[in-house]
Amino acid sequence: MSDMLNIAIAGLGTVGTGTLQLLDRQDGLLAERALQPLRVVAVADLDTGRDRGVDLGKISCFDDALQMVAETDVDVVVELIGGSEGIAREVCEAAIAKGRHVITANKALLAHHGIEIAAQAEKAGVVLAYEAAVVGSVPIIKALREGLAGNRIARITGILNGTCNYILSAMRATGKEFDEVLAEAQSLGYAEADPSFDVDGVDAAHKLALLTAVAYGCIINFDGIYVEGIRHITARDIACAEELGYRIKLLGTTRRLEQGVEQRVHPCLIPTGAPLSHVEGVLNAVMVEGDFVGPAMFEGAGAGSHPTASAVVADMVDIARGVVIPTFGRPVTELEKMSSVPMKNHSGAYYIRLSVTDKPGVIADISAILRDGKISMESMLQHGRADASLGVVTVVMTTHETQESAMIEALAKIGALPVVEEPPCMIRIEQL
């Protein structure tokens, strides 16, 4: 057993505080598993005086994270500040330049700059670890790089954002609309004051970019991800999906195809019998399909102080044990550059919701457009008038599998019909 793994933590927010508490409460257990004690010797935060449930009396405290990196002699720097630019990136790069291992929970930083930072870490001979950056407590990076190393990964599909999953779950349970449930999520601390990164799908896309790189050994291509959020989902969509035997989830999906890599984040209807349909509230889950293992599902808390801290500390233990694995599963110089498969090439089934004037011939006109686009209708729902005074009804249809480009073209024509009162709503169906 070596003497000690000395650690500096930049950022004492939710995850930083949880990490301090875990290290303090599990010190004996961690020393056994890491084969040496894990000791925090320095922290940096704009407010180091706030009570975090851990005695900081013997720890050097800084209000400048870069100063902490420069002035402390540690083995590992943990970056828990967040953000894709600025001080978070500077802390990681300064630590690597000093020959320090780096642990981060910063999925945005890695999605945009992970290849450059990983290359710096490899050149310096240090580890860049980030288990906490992807679905919190779920050890999916370790599973892909180690547990499933004997498999070629064909597809990953996951519920990657707890805020969206909470909102969609609550809408289904209560019948309330998106805006009302979002406000409740903000009051409970499940959504930020500015929820855009979550509800518009960006957070899930950051995580999907990292999963894709690890799964296929390819260069991160965040710009190649199709991203669509959940703001347009209504209580009526949730109810109609249930009636049709589906639930609506925001999914991140990556597939390796002959023509390249498909990466997409968007709401989906998934069958109520599918395992992912039962992942509710703020939980996350990832389904991985390997050629030898088949489908394997990983589920757990995707955020929160202690669950995310668990992933941070797991990386510390690996470093203490001397475990060294390339950041994305293979050296940066060996990562493949893969083409992005455009969303227009996607093929699948679709849910369509229309608000139309209630008069004879409307369905025939819509059906004719679908027929001309070689799109086959599977089912249709109509539940009376949505607005009796205007004579407007809601019509919901599902289609058999077709190409996205054909669906988009058909919807443009349907939306131009004078009897269609508002732009059509389209949600993709995933037969998991």
Does any domain span residue 311?
A: no
Does any domain span residue 148?
A: yes
Residue tagged 């013997």 (tokens): 58
**One domain for residues 150 and 277:** yes
What was the pLDDT predicted at 405?
96
**One domain for residues 291 and 366:** no
**One domain for residues 160 and 271:** yes
Pairwise CA distance, residues 278 & 269, whole Å: 13
Q: What is the CATH number of the domain that holds 189?
A: 3.30.360.10
Does any domain span residue 333?
A: no
Q: What is the CATH number of the domain that holds 81?
A: 3.40.50.720
Does any domain span residue 82?
A: yes
pTM: 0.95
The answer to whether the Cα torsion of 61, 63, 69, 75 is positive or negative is positive
What was the pLDDT predicted at 1?
42
Say if CB 367 and CB 182 are below 8 A apart.
Answer: no
How big is the CA angle at 387 (ends 382 and 389), to the nearest 5 degrees? 130
Does any domain span residue 120?
A: yes
Does any domain span residue 261?
A: yes
Q: What pairing do the DSSP bridges indicate for beta strands 283-290 and 153-159?
A: antiparallel
> Domain total for the chain?
3
**One domain for residues 150 and 125:** no
Residue ending a domain, choose from 93, 108, 133 = 133
Pairwise CA distance, residues 146 & 318, whole Å: 12
What was the pLDDT predicted at 379?
93
Name residues whose C-beta falls within 8 Å of residue 322's C-beta, 6 or more positions apart in sequence: none
Does any domain span residue 334?
A: no
Say if CB 343 and CB 264 are below 8 A apart.
Answer: yes
What DSSP assignment string belongs to 347-362? EEEEEEEEEEE-STTH
**One domain for residues 99 and 12:** yes
Q: Rounded to an integer, what is the distance from CA 269 to the centroid of its chain?
A: 18
**One domain for residues 145 and 281:** yes
Residue ending a domain, choose from 133, 157, 184 = 133
Residue 22, SS3 per DSSP: helix
- pLDDT 10s digits, 224-244: 999 999 999 999 999 999 999
Pairwise CA distance, residues 128 & 324, whole Å: 9
Amino acid at 168: L
How big is the CA angle at 104 (ends 101 and 110), to the nearest 5 degrees? 105
- pLDDT 10s digits, 174-202: 999 999 999 999 999 898 999 999 999 99
Pairwise CA distance, residues 98 & 93, whole Å: 9
**Catalytic annotation on 123?**
no
What was the pLDDT predicted at 216?
97
Q: What is the CATH number of the domain that holds 405?
A: 3.30.70.260
**One domain for residues 260 and 352:** no
Query: Percentages helix, strand, coil for the chain, rounded to the nearest 5?
Result: 40, 25, 35
Domain span at residue 52? 5-133
Kindly state the tokens that stand for 71: 């002035």
**One domain for residues 190 and 276:** yes
* Candidate list 207, 344, 359, 413, residue with the active-site label: 207
**One domain for residues 201 and 265:** yes
Residue tagged 């020393």 (tokens): 31
Pairwise CA distance, residues 35 & 352, whole Å: 57
Which portions of the chain are predicted below pLDDT 70?
A: 1-2, 384-390
Eight-state DSSP code of residue 336 = B
Alpha helix positions (H), 300-403: 305-321, 362-372
**One domain for residues 110 and 20:** yes
- Give the N- to C-terminal CA distance of the chain in Å, as an integer: 47
Say if CB 396 and CB 352 are below 8 A apart.
Answer: yes
Pairwise CA distance, residues 212 & 203, whole Å: 15
What was the pLDDT predicted at 391?
81
Strands across the sheet with 38-44, in order? 60-62, 38-44, 5-10, 76-79, 101-104, 128-129
Eight-state DSSP code of residue 151 = S
**One domain for residues 55 and 158:** no
Pairwise CA distance, residues 114 & 117, whole Å: 5
Pairwise CA distance, residues 214 & 315, whole Å: 16
Residue ending a domain, choose from 79, 111, 133 = 133
Does any domain span residue 36?
A: yes
